[in-house]
């Protein structure tokens, strides 16, 4: 690889990371300087995420916006439901293995329409950007699905302003979400997973004094179930859409 091609490759790789930095700064400014109700704040963040994803999709990936599938079709709604169901199943299995009262714990969550709408929007915005645009751009640049999945997952964990242990946990979650999106060819599958985890894991594990064990066990079971589902589905009906490139 000559020096010119090396420079082009470096620039091409650095572009999606620049978008991640811009995203983090914009969301941080919104959090720090806008005094708004939570639902309006989520909408504002969603607009930021989607706009950056669309810009990156059009300018750098050079595909039509409709190919990003911002609005799901019937097949993608099925992906969403399956992804959400797998995670809820994993959470229930985790509670059983951890000797937590499954139904009692889950009933403690806030499942009002407004709360679920906020969780769904929050899951959607991150999946549009990280699994819709960012993962795509990495795959096109690195020409490696495996490295792209790992890198996008690590960046997903790092962008969340929490403790180191949470960074590590969220990175694992990000890698699993990226793997699911890449293998199904639909970020709507990971939207369902992300929504279900955010909606139910907090209530399910709230009785645990140590958040690490149930959450790590839960996300491990999520990974196993997703892997099994994708391998079985690929034999029966799953065909990657043209969203992700090899």
Q: Quick one: which of 181, 185, 206, 221 has its CA closest to 87?
A: 221
- Nearest-angstrom CA–CA distance, 202 and 167: 17
Q: Report residue 210's pLDDT band, with 50, 70 and 90 as the boundaries.
A: low
Q: Report the C-alpha dihedral over residues 31, 37, 43, 48, rounded to 10 degrees.
A: -20
Those residues with Cβ within 8 angstroms of residue 67's Cβ, 6 or more apart along the chain or in another chain:
57, 242, 243
* Higher pLDDT among residues 154 and 203, named by residue: 154
Percent of the chain with pLDDT over 90: 33
Of 74-83, 133-142, 192-201, 230-239, the one with minimum mean pLDDT is 230-239
Is residue 32 scored above 50 in pLDDT?
A: no
Residue 41 pLDDT: 77
Name the pLDDT band for 176 (thresholds 50, 70, 90): very high
Do the Cβ atoms of 90 and 197 come closer than 8 Å? no
pLDDT of res. 150:
95
pLDDT at position 36: 46
How much of the chain, in percent, has pLDDT values that exceed 70?
Answer: 69
Residue 233 vs residue 26, higher pLDDT: 233
Interval 37-83: pLDDT, tens: 567 777 888 888 898 899 989 988 889 999 998 999 998 999 999 99
**Quick one: CA dihedral 122, 148, 181, 67, positive or negative?**
positive
Question: Which of the four pLDDT bands, split at 50, 70 and 90, describes residue 246?
Answer: very low
pTM as predicted: 0.84
Question: Mind listing the pLDDT tens digit for each residue in 103-138?
Answer: 445 555 556 777 788 889 989 999 999 999 999 999
Mean pLDDT of the chain, nearest integer: 79
Q: Is the pLDDT reported for residue 209 higher than 70?
A: no
Compute CA distances 159 → 153, 156, 175, whole Å: 10, 6, 14
Residue 101 clears pLDDT 90, i.e. is over it = no
| Span 161-188, average pLDDT | 87
What is the mean pLDDT of the segment spanning 182-205? Answer: 86
pLDDT of res. 81: 93
Q: Hey, how many other C-beta atoms are within 10 angstroms of the C-beta on 56?
A: 22
Say which residue, 116 or 25, is predicted with more confidence: 116
């Amino acid at each position: 690889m000559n020096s010119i091609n090396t420079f082009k490759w470096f620039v091409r790789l650095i572009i999606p990371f620049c978008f991640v930095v811009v995203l983090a700064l914009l969301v941080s400014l919104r959090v720090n300087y806008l005094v708004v109700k939570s639902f309006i704040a989520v909408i504002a963040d969603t607009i930021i995420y989607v706009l950056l994803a669309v810009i990156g999709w059009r300018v750098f990936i050079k595909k039509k916006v409709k190919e990003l599938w911002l609005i799901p079709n019937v097949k993608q709604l099925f992906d969403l439901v399956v992804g959400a169901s797998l995670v809820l199943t994993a959470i229930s299995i985790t509670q059983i293995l951890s000797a937590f009262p499954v139904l009692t714990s889950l009933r403690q969550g806030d499942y009002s329409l407004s709360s679920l709408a906020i969780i769904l929007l929050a899951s959607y915005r991150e999946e549009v950007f990280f699994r819709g645009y960012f993962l795509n751009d990495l795959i096109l640049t690195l020409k490696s699905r495996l490295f792209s999945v790992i890198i996008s997952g690590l960046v997903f964990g790092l962008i969340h302003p929490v403790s180191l242990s949470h960074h590590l946990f969220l990175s694992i979650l990000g890698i699993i979400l990226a793997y699911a999106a890449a293998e199904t060819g639909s970020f709507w599958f990971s939207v369902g997973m992300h929504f279900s985890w955010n909606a139910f894991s907090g209530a399910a594990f709230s009785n645990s004094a140590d958040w690490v064990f149930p959450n790590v066990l839960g996300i491990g079971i999520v990974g196993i179930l997703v892997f099994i589902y994708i391998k079985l589905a690929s034999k029966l009906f799953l065909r990657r859409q043209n969203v992700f490139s090899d």
